[in-house]
Structures are given as structure tokens and as C-alpha cells.
Structure 1
């Protein structure tokens, strides 16, 4: 097996290779002045099982194209089979037409992934299981919640409460709570306006006084939902507020606004490599690849 860390997943790709006991492949790449990507395989891979590791956070389109180039190159170089670890699989949130005329982007991405010769995909905490339906190749969805929970276990929390900021995060929050042995798990009711993007969260009375609140979600992008939940927890006198998520995109000033809302710490995984990604999903992914 050859593990090829892509431009967007150098740290995670190397960690997966270490977990599997193989040397990470030294892929070469650069960006041309016009923004196009260059990919080169400097060593033979003919007859090998090749695992590409390339997450697709922003710049999403560039990272996707680089993945497609990596797959095309592996095929041309004679790889026996090509699998892709795509920790953050972009465009999965548009898995149905919410309004007339909406393009269902997940269907296009699925066709493109298959068209470049990728035979199997491993992803992490895909936004919804329904979004996997268009894929006609095997696709495995790994949960990062047990790894996040084990990190949370090390924090000085005496009375933790797990909070899902919306119904979509319910199963993630419940898995964290179950792993930690925490009985208190609350799910907030969120409404997002599809046109304006305005987010409203219920303001029901919840007793959070003196509690260590852990807000659990799969993706933190603009941070609007997290900020709303954190502000609610702050108003109800939570002792501390942590955010635990798989994919910390943190667009624009999201990180600053989240911190200003009263959040003590943002804890994320290396599906998106940044300063908050302190939990690795490499062991979980490697266990699937073995």
C-alpha cells in the first residue's frame, strides 16, 4: 500500500502512513501564477494499491481539482487500484433541492469522483447519510466523535453537559455523551432562513448554571449557530463553554466571534488542518484501511 498525502492533508496523510507502518509518498505539487495546480508523482507506483489523502475545505474547488489530478495521475502511472481518503468531503450539504431550481451538488461531485477512477472513498462525519446515496462505489463514513470524546475526557470538567446546537448534531452529541458516560445531553431547535441565512435558536429555559457545557457539531463554518448556542449558555451562567467539532472551517472572523461569545476553547480534528485541529482521526481512518 502507498499512502499519498495531498496538498491539503499533509499532516493527516503522514499520520495515517505512520499508523499503517508505511512511508508517506513524496508527492510534488505547486500552484501556477494563473491559479492552476500542478501535480507530479516522482517515484513509480505501478501495480500498487494507492491511497490518496486529500481533504476539501476552502479553497474547496482547488482542493477538489487537486484530488482529481492526483487520481488521474495515479491511474496513468499504473496503480493497481486507487482509493481516496477525503476527510472533509465538500458539497455534501446540498444533498437535495431545497428550492425549485437548486442544483444538487452532491450528485455532480459523486460523478466526478467516480469518473477519475477512484474506486473507494473514506470520509469523516459526512453531513448526512443521505448525501452518500449518489455514490456508486464503496464509501465508508468514519466518526470522529469517539476521538473527540477521549480528548474531552482529559479536561477538568466536574459537571459536563453535552449540547447539540441543532437537530442535525443530535447523533454526534449523543455519541460524545455516551462515550464520556454523561447523562445530560440537550438538543436545541434551530431554524435557518434559506434565503437570508438568518439563524434562530429556541430560547427555552435550560438550567446551565455552574455546568461545563460542550457544544458538539460536525461542521463549524461561519460560526453563527455556535455563537447563538454559546450566547444562550453564557446567559444561563454556564461555568465554561467548549466547542468540539470534526471540521473547523472557521470562515472569516468566525473564530474571533466564537471566542467573544464566551467559548473557552475550540477543539477540532485534523480533517481540516489549522490551529484548533488538536485531535487526530488518523487512527480511526487507518483502522478502516488495514
Structure 2
């Protein structure tokens, strides 16, 4: 088995290769002046199982196409099984048709990955696990939970005056498990969409967090509008501080700067999307352990 690092995931691929003591295939990569990618795989993948590591943000379409091109080429070069590690899977939220003619991008993306020769796909905290597993029937799919890594990160940092908070009812299960593992109280905010302007709002309920340290855990942040409203509501309850933790940090840095200006103490994400402007929890060991258990 060998590892190939896609252009978006060189650092995490290097860590996985070192943790599993696997050799890496080389990749010659450059961008032409028109924005198209030049890719050349260096090394021999013939009769080998190959792990491709490529997250699909930023530049979703470009990074996805590069992954498809690499997979197809590996098969043509004689690779046996191809395992795609996609820490952040783009288009996963476009998973259902709301109006006639709307493209369901998630299912098409999954079909493309399967058609390109990928045999197994491993991702992290996908938007809807049930829908994910019901697409591309010929593709072996795994959705890893980042929660164990987040728990490990915080277990030596917490004190009794902390409380775990989820942004909506969809986070209820993870928040409850997170709080149980750390023996902390928790609650989930009540989110709703205004029937007139369709804006997302939160019910102003009596949450028990005065003088508490809050960990607000979210799965993804894009524009930041909803997270900022949640933080504003929590600050009105007079906590001692707030730490914002997010799995997939897609938002621009200005969103996190606004959080800091509001009084958020720490902002932490997972390196499913590598960033150097906020602290990150490393997921490479979690992925390596899964690969070792499932494929080695």
C-alpha cells in the first residue's frame, strides 16, 4: 500500500504516511496560466492499493476534478484498490431536491467518484450520514466522527464550571456524548426560521450558563451568520468566556475576527480544511488508526 497526496492535502497525507510507515508516490503539480491543473504521478502504483488524500475545500470544483483525474490515472497505471481520504467532502449539503429542476449535487458527486475508479471513500463528519451511505451503491463508504479527537483535545483542559452547547437540535446527540465523556452539563439552542423574512433565529430561553465557560461546538461554518447569532445570544447570558469549536471551517478570516471582537476567547477548528489563522485539532491519527484497522 502507498499514499498519494493531492495538492490540497500534502501535510495531512505526510502525517498519515509517517504514522502508518507507508511509502508515498510523488506528484508533479503546477497550474497553467489559464488556471488548469497539470498533474503527473511519480512512482509505480502497479498492483498496489493506493490511498489518495485530497480534501475538497477551498476551490471545490478544482480539487474534486483533481481527485477524479488522479484516481482515473492510477487505475490506468495498474493500481489495484483506490481508497480516497476526503476529510471535507464538497457538495454533501446539496443532498436533496427542493424544487423541480434543482440539481442534487451530492449524489452526482458520489457517482463521479465511483466512476473514476475509487473503491472506498473515507470522509469526516459528513452533512447527512444516512443520505451519504445511500448514494453510489458500488462505492464502499465510511463516515468518521471527529468527536473522539475533540474530546481528547479538551479532556485535560476542562474544569467543573464548563458547559457544552450545541447550535441546534441536529447536534443534540454529539453534544450529549461530548458532555458525558467530560462529565459536564450541556444544552442545545433552539433554532428556527422566521416565517416572514425566512431568517434564522434562536429562541431566547433561560439557558444555565451564567459565569460558566462555554464550548460552542458546530459541524461547519460558512458565512458565519448563524454562529454569530448564537454567540450573541450566549453572551447575553453572561458566561465567563466562550470557546467556539467547529469541525469544517470554511468561513473567511473576517468572520473569526468578528467573533474575537465580540469576546470569543478561543476559536478552534479541525484540519479537515487546513488553516493557519486559527488553532486546529489534528485528525491524521484518527484517520491512520481507521486505515490500519480497516485496510492493512
TM superposition score normalised by structure 1: 0.93
Residue in 2 aligned with 1:66?
66
- In structure 2, the residue corresponding to 1:219 is in which secondary structure? strand
Residue-by-residue CA offset, 1:14-62 (whole Å, 9 max, x unaligned): 1111121123332221111111111111111111100000001121111
CA distance in structure 2 between the aligned counterparts of 1:158 and 1:80, rounded to whole angstroms: 52
Provide the alpha-carbon RMSD of the alignment.
1.9
- In structure 1, the residue corresponding to 2:245 is in which secondary structure? strand
Task: Give how far 1:209 is off.
Answer: 0.9
Aligned CA distance change for structure 1 residues 248 and 78 (closer, same or farther; 3 Å): same
CA distance in structure 1 between the aligned counterparts of 2:34 and 2:156, rounded to whole angstroms: 46
Equivalences for residues 81-230 of structure 1 within 5 A: 81-132=81-132, 133-136=134-137, 137-155=139-157, 157-182=159-184, 184-192=185-193, 198-230=199-231
1:284 lines up with 2:295 in the alignment: no
Aligned CA distance change for structure 1 residues 71 and 245 (closer, same or farther; 3 Å): same
Which contiguous aligned blocks of 4+ residues in structure 1 show a shift greater than 6 angstroms? Answer: 193-197
Equivalences for residues 231-246 of structure 1 within 5 A: 231-246=232-247
Residue in 2 aligned with 1:5?
5
CA contact (8 A) 2:16 2:285 kept: yes
CA distance in structure 1 between the aligned counterparts of 2:150 and 2:195, rounded to whole angstroms: 30
CA distance in structure 2 between the aligned counterparts of 1:23 and 1:196, rounded to whole angstroms: 55
CA distance in structure 2 between the aligned counterparts of 1:283 and 1:60, rounded to whole angstroms: 25
The one of the two structures with greater contact order (alpha-carbon pairs below 8 A, sep at least 6) is 1
Task: Give how far 1:100 is off.
Answer: 3.7
**Unpaired segments of 5 or more residues in structure 1?**
none
Aligned CA distance change for structure 1 residues 239 and 2 (closer, same or farther; 3 Å): same
Task: Give how far 1:241 is off.
Answer: 0.5
Task: Give how far 1:81 is off.
Answer: 1.2
CA distance in structure 1 between the aligned counterparts of 2:259 and 2:162, rounded to whole angstroms: 20
CA contact (8 A) 2:165 2:215 kept: yes
For these two proteins, the number of residue pairs brought into alignment is 289
**Unpaired segments of 5 or more residues in structure 2?**
none
Residue-by-residue CA offset, 1:250-271 (whole Å, 9 max, x unaligned): 2362222222232111111111
